[in-house]
């Protein structure tokens, strides 16, 4: 009984895998068909607008597209720029579609194509992408949801982008001054706030004020200032205690001088530095 069940489970897993692979292949096929249909439709537009197809020669296509920088155009097509023999070959023989030739022409002239994203266009023109989205009147220009969209998907031509870039170039000086002014004001405001905060830090650890003494006496013992709440008898007692303390201190100093007198040499103090016998001996010699 276990073998048929395992076989049935194995067959079900295999069937699901085949369905998944087939669905993936179908999606890729549909995507390829859609891409090919768009390319064919674009090639018809190119034929009606510029008048060439894949049977035209490379040199003829360059003249029809009015390409000035042929070397850059060939480089975008993956061809050798200095090879003049390629100019006499048809696009079909070179494996180049008319749409690809048009994209190469756009890249050689503008530096981007209609398949370029907004981020690539912004980098190519050195133009802030936020300003580009504002000039294109896109909703929510601060969002990045438009950055990876191509010009073709947004229905924007390369000529429209160049017109916007011309307007931006004319006002780029004013735009740069505004950005610089906003940046300087921001920096100065931050410095001002920082200086104010640092100046207020000294009030956090302020030392406590010293309490004023209740009684101030002059060197002579007279009262200079006294607290209004201090009693007269208390003042007299304080003065008396201070006087007794000073007297006892002076007496202790005198006693210390008496008992701790520095010893002196009487012989040296009387200036007799030589012994008499020494003088006699010196005379005899």
Residue 25 has pLDDT above 70, yes or no: no
- The Cα–Cα gap between 226 and 212 comes to 10
- In this prediction, residue 26 has a pLDDT band, given cuts at 50, 70 and 90, of very low
- In this prediction, residue 77 has a pLDDT band, given cuts at 50, 70 and 90, of confident
- Across 29-33, 45-49, 117-121, 160-164, least confident range: 29-33
Predicted pLDDT of residue 1 = 47
Exposure on the CB side of residue 242, measured as CA atoms within 13 A: 15
pLDDT in tens, 32-63: 444 556 667 777 888 788 888 888 888 888 88
How many domains is the chain partitioned into structurally?
Answer: 4
Does 176 share its domain with 146? no
Domain membership of residue 84 as a residue range: 32-110
Does 166 share its domain with 181? no
Burial of 106 (0-12, 13-18, 19+ CB in 10 A): buried
285 part of a folded domain: no
Does 225 share its domain with 248? yes
Note whether 42 and 99 are within 8 A (CB): yes
- Across 70-74, 193-197, 247-251, 277-281, least confident range: 277-281
Does 154 share its domain with 94? no
- The mean pLDDT value for 268-275 works out to 54
- The Cα–Cα gap between 143 and 129 comes to 11
- In this prediction, residue 246 has a pLDDT band, given cuts at 50, 70 and 90, of confident
Does 134 share its domain with 87? no
Helical residues (DSSP H) of the chain, grouped into ranges: 2-50, 58-64, 70-77, 91-94, 98-110, 118-125, 129-135, 158-170, 172-200, 232-259, 266-269, 276-284
267 part of a folded domain: no
Does 105 share its domain with 45? yes
Does 190 share its domain with 144? no
Top mean pLDDT of 213-222, 241-250, 259-268 is at 241-250
pTM of the model: 0.49
Does 86 share its domain with 155? no
H or E, element range at 216: strand 215-217
Give the single-character DSSP code of 96: -
Does 163 share its domain with 189? no
Contacts of 86 (CB under 8 A, 6+ apart): 58, 74, 79, 80, 94
Predicted pLDDT of residue 66 = 84
Task: Name the percent of the chain lying above pLDDT 90.
Answer: 1
More confident residue, 210 or 78: 78
Residue 277 has pLDDT above 60, yes or no: no
pLDDT in tens, 80-106: 888 888 888 988 888 888 888 888 888
- In this prediction, residue 218 has a pLDDT band, given cuts at 50, 70 and 90, of low
161 part of a folded domain: yes
209 part of a folded domain: no
Residue 260 has pLDDT above 60, yes or no: no
Distance of CA 284 to the CA centre of its chain: 104
- The mean pLDDT value for 129-155 works out to 87
Note whether 55 and 91 are within 8 A (CB): yes
Mean pLDDT of the chain, nearest integer = 75
- In this prediction, residue 243 has a pLDDT band, given cuts at 50, 70 and 90, of confident
Does 53 share its domain with 95? yes
5 part of a folded domain: no
Residue that is written with structure tokens 């007198």 in the block = 261
Does 119 share its domain with 163? yes
Does 48 share its domain with 102? yes
8 part of a folded domain: no
Residue 19 has pLDDT above 50, yes or no: yes
pLDDT in tens, 195-214: 888 877 777 766 677 766 66
Crossing angle of helices 2-50 and 98-110, in 10° steps, is 70
7 part of a folded domain: no
58 part of a folded domain: yes
- In this prediction, residue 127 has a pLDDT band, given cuts at 50, 70 and 90, of confident
Residue that is written with structure tokens 């049977």 in the block = 55
């Amino acid at each position: 009984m276990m073998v048929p069940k395992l076989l049935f489970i194995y067959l079900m897993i295999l069937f699901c895998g085949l369905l998944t692979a087939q669905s993936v292949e179908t999606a890729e096929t549909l995507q390829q068909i859609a891409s090919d249909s768009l390319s064919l439709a674009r090639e018809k537009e190119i034929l009606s607008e510029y008048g060439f197809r894949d049977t035209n020669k490379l040199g003829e296509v360059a003249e029809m597209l009015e390409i000035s920088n042929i070397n850059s155009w060939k480089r975008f097509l993956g061809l050798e720029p200095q090879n003049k023999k390629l100019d006499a070959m048809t696009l079909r023989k070179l494996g180049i579609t008319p749409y690809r030739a048009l994209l190469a022409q756009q890249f050689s002239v503008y530096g981007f194509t209609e398949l370029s994203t907004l981020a690539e266009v912004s980098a190519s023109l050195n133009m802030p992408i936020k300003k580009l989205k504002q000039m294109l009147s896109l909703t929510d220009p601060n969002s990045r949801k438009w950055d990876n969209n191509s010009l073709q998907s947004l229905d924007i031509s390369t000529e429209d982008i160049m017109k916007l870039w011309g307007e931006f170039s004319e006002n780029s000086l004013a735009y740069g001054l505004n950005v610089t002014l906003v940046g300087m004001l921001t920096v100065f405001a931050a410095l001002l706030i920082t200086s104010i905060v640092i100046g207020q830090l000294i009030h956090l650890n302020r030392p406590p004020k010293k309490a004023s003494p209740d009684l101030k006496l002059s060197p002579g013992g007279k009262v200079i200032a006294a607290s209004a709440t201090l009693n007269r008898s208390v003042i007299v007692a304080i003065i008396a205690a201070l006087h007794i303390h000073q007297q006892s201190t002076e007496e202790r100093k005198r006693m210390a001088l008496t008992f701790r007198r520095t010893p002196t040499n009487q012989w040296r103090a009387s200036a007799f530095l030589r012994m008499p016998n020494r003088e006699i001996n010196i005379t005899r010699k």
